[in-house]
Structure 1
Amino acid sequence: MFIVAVTGGIASGKSTVSKVFQKQGIPVIDADKIAREIVEPGQPCWKQIREIFGDEVLLPSKEINRAVLGKMIFEDKELRGKLNKITHPTIHRKIFWRVCKLLVSGHSWIVLDLPLLFETGVLMDYIHKIVCVSCDQDKQLERLIARNELSETEARHRVNSQMPLEKKCEKSHFVIDNNGSVEETESSAMSIYNMMCESKQHWLNRISFLGLFLIVGFSIYLLLKVFNKLPASWQM
């Protein structure tokens, strides 16, 4: 199995691309969905957020008021760092375990939807190919303002808190231009899907994994054989 990461900027269209892969039967692990799961009332991250940010970031239902919390962290880099310190380790741990579960399920490849892939850099060593979904900043701001009902200033704060899309595109293997229609974006995603399906990388990974397994197994066998030949007085 190999991993394809979908990244980009906020409101650049990552979800549109990930859905194309999902519709074709490719498992998608969405970091944003995990981020929402771990801050549900009663969860350890929820408790830490409440402790640091106070009850003002809670709705009457005790759920996190994402609008209030978002406004706080995108206007204050220090607060954003505190929130990331609470949530990022848990998000990465859950992604890792979900990848492990899919590893034994027989899939040739899977997709990780990771908005902050380059910003955190944590999972880079495990990723085979990176797809960056890009669009012009004016289009990005327009979509973000409409989607989250933000002012232009608030939207700019959120866009500027991430690595510039130009740099993300430079670091990626594929770039999907999402300035056009949904159909055009989906067509670009399907082209990448077809290329990934033709890739033999999953076989190379399986052979490498099998080779590592055999090496470890043979090493243990040799150690046991040597251990059994030691004089009884030396054995514990």
Structure 2
Amino acid sequence: MQQLMEITRRGIFHHAKKLFLSEQAGRIQVQEFARKNAANALSLTNLVMGLSSILCTLNGQHLYACWFLCFGFLLDLADGAVARQLNACSALGAKLDDFADFTTFGIATSLLLQAHSVLSSIFIICYVMAVFIRLCFFSSGIPFVYRGLPCPYASAILSSTFVLTGGNCLFLYIAAMVMILFMTDQGNYPHDKILETQLWKKMVYIGGLLMLFCCPLQLTCIYYLIWCFSYTLFPTALWNCEY
């Protein structure tokens, strides 16, 4: 009888140990999956922001559309930093990021230009093609250096201009033309690494995040214009990743 009880206890102990190891292995697999896909989740969220902006624009809710574009701008700055910090960079992640960027900063942003005529429709197509060309063909060959203004900055400038001018077509088309020129001029722009370098850059990012959720949209857009124009006009002097 005692021998039978001893065998039973050993069996229960062995089963419990096996179950514990199995649960531990499961947790490790979940943690590894989360590590590898954290940046991809941010890119997918950026894509959702772009699609939400498109739907808002089609329904005439332009301020909400601009809010989603600004949030997409912040997400795009974060996903690369998260991927590098977690050592989770991958070809799939790069493709997903480009697709999200094209949707949010190309198609969704261009719809703010409001196609009221054939000429405006052609101009919208030109803006989308400028973003497409910038994403596909403008590679500097230099680590952490872009060729042409990154389209998220162009999108933030255009959406902020829309909010501050009340959607004035003249100002919007001037801003869009300037952004097209900057995106296609093949000038070098440093990878700002805003979440990976100096404290002041991180504070700029945190300030943009807090303002987006806590301040009036007009005030937030002034902040984003100053931020994005400083990068556009003084990329090396202010935003070089080495400083």
TM range (shorter): under 0.3
Select the structure with the greater relative contact order (CA < 8 A; seq sep ≥ 6).
1
* Structure with higher helix content: 2
Q: Which of the pair has more CA radius of gyration?
A: 2
Query: Structure 1 length as normaliser, TM-score?
Result: 0.24
* Structure with higher strand content: 1
Query: Structure 2 length as normaliser, TM-score?
Result: 0.24
